[in-house]
Amino acid sequence: MAKIKVTKQKSAINRSLRQKRTLEALGLRKIGQTVEHDATPNILGMVNKVKHLVSVEEA
């Protein structure tokens, strides 16, 4: 399965609770932190919800 690297670029301050929880579920806490996930529909949907806060690249 394809892998993606998700990096948190912007702060979650003044964002909705839903967006904050999505970042937590992805495993992102600090700005600049990178996590690697399988490119499943669930993960891609979560990334799409916070695409303005993260950057994504294929691993």
3-58 in CATH: which number?
3.30.1390.20
DSSP E strand boundaries for 1-59: 3-8, 34-38, 54-58
State how far the Cα of 57 lies from the Cα of 59, in Å rounded to an integer.
Answer: 6
The pLDDT value recorded for residue 1 is 85
pTM for this entry: 0.94
- Retrieve residue 42's tokens: 């669930």
| Domain range summary for the chain, segments of one domain joined by + | 3-58
Q: What is the mean pLDDT of each run of 10 residues along the chain (59 residues)?
A: 96 98 98 98 98 97
Residue that has been written with the tokens 């490119």 in this structure? 39
